[in-house]
Structure formats: C-alpha cells, structure tokens
Structure 1
Amino acid sequence: MNLKELSKNLGLSQTTVSRALNGYPEVSDATRRRVEAAAKAFNYSPSNRAKGLATGRALAIGHVIPISTRHEMVNPVFGDFIAGAGETYSREGYEMVLAVVADADEQKVYDNMWRRRAVDGVVLHAPRMNDVRIPYLQKIGMPFAVHGRASGCKTPYTWLDVNNRRAFERATDFLIDLGHRRIALVNGLEYMDFADRRRAGYASALMAKDIPVDPTLMASGEMTEVFGYESMRSMLGAADPPTAVLCSSLVSALGARRAIEERGLKMGRDVSVVTHDDVLSYLQNGGETPIFTATRSSVREAGRRLAQMLLGRIAAPEGPHQQELLEAELVVGDSTGPAPRKD
C-alpha cells in the first residue's frame, strides 16, 4: 500500500497522513493514533518521498563525480568511502544520489539539484588547490561537506581530512632512521590537495636532515598500478637509483613492487617501500603482519563520519562548521628494512 491508498482509506489528505506519521505537533493525538493504527494494520512504511512531503526535504544526499575522475567509481578507496557514508545515510533515513557528469557541467548539476530540491546537500570529493566548487556551493546556499581540504579557500566550511603532511613526514623520517638517503616519492596528481600536502611532508623531512630534495626521485600521476610500475622502473634504471620509495596508494605500491622484482631485487632488502593504506575491504594489506609498511587510516570510517557531519550541517545550517583532522597510524610491515650497504 502506498501513501495515496492509505490516505484514501482514512479519508484524509496525503499531507495530513504524512505529518501524522512523522510526529508533527499540528496533527491531533486522535488523528495520529488513527493513522498509526491504520499504517500498522496495512503494513505501510512511508517512503522517503512521502516523508519529504511532510518535512520539506528530499532526504537524499548527492555525490557528483566529474567525467575526468570517473575512475573514482571503480577506485576501491571511493567504494569504501561510499559504503561508510551509505551506512550513515541508511541509519538516518536518507538515500544517496550518484551522478557522473561532464566537468564543464558540474556546477550546473549542483545548481539543478539544489533548485529542484533533489538533494538536501552534497559531499565534495577530491578537492583541488583553490577549489572553485567550494565558493560556488556557498554562493547558492547548498549544504556540503568536503572529503579532504582545499588549500587557498579562506572561508570556513565543513571538512574531514587525514593529516597527509604529517603522515608522509613521519614515513620519510622512518626511512631516514633506517639509513636511507635516496628516497623516492610516487605521488598522486599534485594539483589535488592531498598529494600536495604529502609532497610537502616528504620534502620537509628530507630538508630537516639536510638531504637534498631530488626532482628525479619524484613522480606525480594518477595512482594506478601501471603508474607505480613505470615510475619505479624508470627510477631504478637511473645511475643513482633510490633505495626506498614512498607511494601514495596501495595500488601504486603494487606496481612499484612489480618493478622492483622485475629487476631481480627484493622488496624490503634491496628497496624499501612505504605506502598509504586506506584499510580497504577488497584490497587488504596482508593479515596480522602487513605486506607493506604503511601510513594507515580507514576511509570507510571517514565516510561514516563525514556523512554524519553533513547531516548535522543540514539540520543546523546556521551553526558552526565542523572540521576534523584524522591522524594516520604508521604500521611496520615486511616491505622495509635497513638501507643496503654500498660495495
């Protein structure tokens, strides 16, 4: 039975029935009890659309993915984040709206979503440096929360991020303490805020120990297995190759390991590898003993928490913005060891 049929059986308007089921005070106790009894008798559960009639909300959250980053849809990091956020939405009675759009149309899609009240807010993914989407969403008044941060955006907004700079500074220090001096960085796209912060942490740790920052030991690109492989293969073929490497994702670290083994070298003995591990459901970093030494943070938990922060923003749009910086844990696995001695 749907809302229209239930309303007809009761001889009441759909709005009155919906408001009765959602506890609105203007509905009398007698009417509320009558509606609740009928809903129970007919095994009626209000849909989000019916609830929306009563609350004036869509009870939906938007996730907009530009075509240029459509790989996000199959990226295990994105999948785990969405799974975590979905748990929060489901518990709070919200649905999720996913849209893959042309880059040039992204702002138009946000505008249409908000104007049609198709969603109550959006999660902003993969923030860039000076991200223009943030001031645009503020301009149109749409509630939003950012997975990450955007350097250069001065106005306050709600965000949740990992302390990427500190994580890679700590990982670099760990390798330096093992005696490594030729330390490479296989990073993400450095117009992305997280990758810029990771490079800054890596460079800061090197400079603090008077180790030159060598551009030939730094690669930036989309974090695929092939990119990790090709970057590591190129660096290992140089006259003064690295003895250690930091990778910005577990996927690119797998490619780096392939390049190491292809040259007849052993990871952890000849070349040490540290990666960032998002604690993924379907791409796990070994069992009790991790395969890779890693800076670790749960992206699924980040999805849960950021979704809750956004729902809080929707409920209290004039309240203070929430901002949370998560610290990554450094876990030691089999992929790192002392720097090899030179003959």
Structure 2
Amino acid sequence: MNLKQLSELLGLSQTTVSRALNGYPEVNQKTRMRVQEAARTHGYRPNTRAKGLATGRSMAVGHVIPISSNHEMVNPVFGDFIAGAGETYSKSGYDMVLSVVPDGDEEKAYRDLHKRKTVDGVIVHGPHMQDFRIPLLRELNMPFVVHGRASEVTEPYSWLDVNNFSAFRRAASFLMDLGHRRIALINGLEDMDFAFRRRKALEEVLLDRGEPLRADLMRSGEMTEALGYTSLREMLALPNPPTAILTSSMITAIGVRRAIEEAGLKMGRDVSVITHDDDLSYLNNGKDEPLFTATRSSVREAGRQSAKLLLDQIASPTQEPVSVLLEADLIVGKSTGPAPN
C-alpha cells in the first residue's frame, strides 16, 4: 500500500496523512491515532527517501564509534544497545549510520556528519566526566542524546543513564550485610562517568560502616575477561585477600570466576561476586537460577528509550533537554553467600 491508497482509504488528503505519520503538531491527536492505526493494520511503511524529501530530513541517526584499545563502548554490550535503538528507528522509518573512526578523528567525524547533513541527530556513547562532544554538538546545533552522563559538564543536555551510584551502593550494602568487610572493586575506566559513580558508591558504603578503603583491592581498566582474571589472581595472593568482589561487567565477572576456580576456591562460598549488566541477550546469566548475583539493567531497553528521546528531539528541536534515570534491580544468584570465617 502506498501513501495515495492509504489516503483514499481514510478519506484524507495525502498531506494530512503524511503529516500525521511524521508527528506534525498541527494534526489533532484523534486524526493522528486513526492514521497510525490504519498504517499498522494495512502494513504501510513510508519510503524513506520520499519521506526525507518531504520533510527536509535525512531520515537517519548517527553513531560515531571510536577505534581504540582504551574505550569502553567498543565491547559486546554495545551490540545490545544498537539492537534496541534499531527497533525504535525502524518503527519510525529511520536508518542508522555507523561511523567508525580513530579516537583522534572523532571531532572531525561529527563536523562532517553535520556539514553533509548525513544524519538528523546522534547518540553519544561512553561519556567521560568532562566530555568534549557535548559542547561540540551544542555548537553545531545538532540534536543529540547521551547514553550516560558527564558529571563535570554543567550545561543542559538530554541524557539517559542507569543509576550506577544507587546500584553499586545497594550491591555493596548487600555484601556488608552478609558479613563481608574486605570487598574488592574491579571497575571500568574511572575517567568515565559510570565507573566514577560506582567507585564512589563503594567508598561511601565502606565509610558508613567504618571500614577502610583499601587501594590494593581496587582495579580499573577496559572491562574484559582478562581484567577480571588477572586482577583477582593478584588480589588472592595478598596477605588479606578479598572475600567479595564487585565487578562492572558480566564479561569481567567471567574472568573473576575463572580465577576463583583456578585457585581451588568455590564462588559463593569462599569468595562472593556481584556483577553488573547481566541482562544481555547473548550472555545468559543461568536458566533456572541466576549464576551471578547481579545489578540488572537492560542495555537493549536503554537503546530503545535513548532512540525515542532522540527522535522526539528531532521532531521538536526547541524542546527542553530531557533526563531519564533508570534504576537497576538486584538479582540474587549463586555467586554470593555469607563471609567465610
């Protein structure tokens, strides 16, 4: 079915139907809902090229992916985010443009996207505490949404983030209630906002309970299986090794588990482990019972919601910045237990 046929079916002009499907404010809500329902029922999908010509938009959203050995967004979790965002784009007739660039060429990539009008907006990934991309995109007047936050950027911008501080405070308190006092943290890169907030949460819980912060039980780096394995193997060799571990990634937690088993210990009995982001489509955290106790947050759902925020901003560029803070659930699995004597 094409636009003309859909218009004739509804008894409306092609202009009205097009504007209803594209979210123009002059179309009343009742008409918009009627048009959208008819489009769904009859399987109408607008031609992206024709839609772009009609609206003056490119009908595409950009994601700039830096290639680096030291960047948290280049990991398998990114795939789940993109899958969720892609669902939202597809429903709205938008395409996705992925630009893979060296770290040093990021600014040029954003300026080129703007100059060539390749995309109508972008999603910013892996924000640092003070992130140059936020003032850059504001300067370019390009719609954008940040997946995460940049704590040291004071100017307003739209973002969607998980409450990392709350999630790790709850996880650390759970371990303390089980009797653990020597709690290690294997974190992401701590110049990135999410990792900074997770470390602060553990520090606050230890301070509240009168426990010292031990620098020898803190590690940070690219969240890989090797980071988890190497970090815990080093810690287990200490005179007073940790009895519990907080890790920032399921991938890192797998390395932690390998180090525990290699040392002849049992996870959940000798060493407890809590990880983050266990709700990954390609990496199941057990079937009947979760293997890892985890602070659960759906990366795919974050992708869906971030994409919707951006498309709303593209449709209404004068709207005020929007902030969305998602809470993580604490899922108790087999990886935690009382502190050993």
TM-score with structure 2 setting the length: 0.86
Q: How does 1:184-199 map to 2 (within 5 A)?
A: 184-199=184-199
Distance in 1 (CA, whole Å) between partners of 2:108 and 2:16 is 36
SS in 2 for 1:253: helix
Following TM superposition, by how much is the alpha carbon of 1:169 offset from its aligned partner in structure 2, in angstroms?
0.8
Q: Quote the residue 2:36 is aligned against.
A: none
Following TM superposition, by how much is the alpha carbon of 1:104 offset from its aligned partner in structure 2, in angstroms?
1.6
Distance in 1 (CA, whole Å) between partners of 2:17 and 2:316 is 23
Q: Quote the residue 2:11 is aligned against.
A: none
SS in 1 for 2:68: helix
Following TM superposition, by how much is the alpha carbon of 1:222 offset from its aligned partner in structure 2, in angstroms?
0.5
Distance in 1 (CA, whole Å) between partners of 2:70 and 2:142 is 23
Distance in 2 (CA, whole Å) between partners of 1:91 and 1:70 is 34
SS in 1 for 2:82: helix
Equivalent AA in structure 1 for residue 64 of structure 2: V
Q: Please say if residues 278 and 299 of structure 1, whose CA atoms lie closer than 8 Å, have aligned partners that are also in contact.
A: no
Aligned positions, number: 311
Equivalent AA in structure 2 for residue 240 of structure 1: N
Q: Quote the residue 1:174 is aligned against.
A: 174
Change in Cα spacing, 1:70 to 1:206, as seen in structure 2 (3 Å) is closer
Change in Cα spacing, 1:53 to 1:301, as seen in structure 2 (3 Å) is same
Q: Deviations over 1:123-156 (max 9, x none)?
A: 0000001101101100110000000000111011
Following TM superposition, by how much is the alpha carbon of 1:283 offset from its aligned partner in structure 2, in angstroms?
0.3
Equivalent AA in structure 2 for residue 208 of structure 1: D
Q: Quote the residue 1:159 is aligned against.
A: 159
Q: Quote the residue 2:29 is aligned against.
A: none
Following TM superposition, by how much is the alpha carbon of 1:21 offset from its aligned partner in structure 2, in angstroms?
7.8
Following TM superposition, by how much is the alpha carbon of 1:19 offset from its aligned partner in structure 2, in angstroms?
6.6
Q: Quote the residue 1:93 is aligned against.
A: 93
Matched, 1:219 2:219: yes
Distance in 1 (CA, whole Å) between partners of 2:184 and 2:298 is 25
1:22 to 15, 18, 21: 18
Q: How does 1:1-343 map to 2 (within 5 A)?
A: 22=18, 47-68=47-68, 75-341=75-341
Q: Please say if residues 188 and 220 of structure 2, whose CA atoms lie closer than 8 Å, have aligned partners that are also in contact.
A: yes
Q: Deviations over 1:236-258 (max 9, x none)?
A: 01111000000000000000000
Distance in 1 (CA, whole Å) between partners of 2:223 and 2:180 is 24
Equivalent AA in structure 1 for residue 239 of structure 2: A
Q: Deviations over 1:134-190 (max 9, x none)?
A: 011001100000000001110111000000011111101000000001100000011
Q: Please say if residues 244 and 272 of structure 1, whose CA atoms lie closer than 8 Å, have aligned partners that are also in contact.
A: yes
SS in 2 for 1:336: coil
Q: Deviations over 1:247-300 (max 9, x none)?
A: 000000000000010010000000000000241001011123110001011111
Equivalent AA in structure 1 for residue 110 of structure 2: Y
Q: Deviations over 1:27-51 (max 9, x none)?
A: xxxxxxxxxxxxxxxxx97532222
Larger Rg: 1
Distance in 1 (CA, whole Å) between partners of 2:152 and 2:170 is 24
Unaligned runs of 5+ in 1: 1-5, 7-17, 26-43
Following TM superposition, by how much is the alpha carbon of 1:333 offset from its aligned partner in structure 2, in angstroms?
0.3
Equivalent AA in structure 2 for residue 177 of structure 1: D
Distance in 2 (CA, whole Å) between partners of 1:100 and 1:251 is 23
Equivalent AA in structure 1 for residue 160 of structure 2: L
Computed over aligned residues only, the root mean square deviation of the Cα atoms, in angstroms, reads 2.4
Q: Which moved more, 1:47-56 or 1:256-265?
A: 47-56
Change in Cα spacing, 1:46 to 1:87, as seen in structure 2 (3 Å) is closer
Distance in 2 (CA, whole Å) between partners of 1:188 and 1:123 is 21
Distance in 2 (CA, whole Å) between partners of 1:21 and 1:71 is 44
Q: Deviations over 1:78-104 (max 9, x none)?
A: 111000000000001100000110112
Q: Please say if residues 60 and 96 of structure 2, whose CA atoms lie closer than 8 Å, have aligned partners that are also in contact.
A: yes
Q: Deviations over 1:100-130 (max 9, x none)?
A: 1011211111111112111000000000011
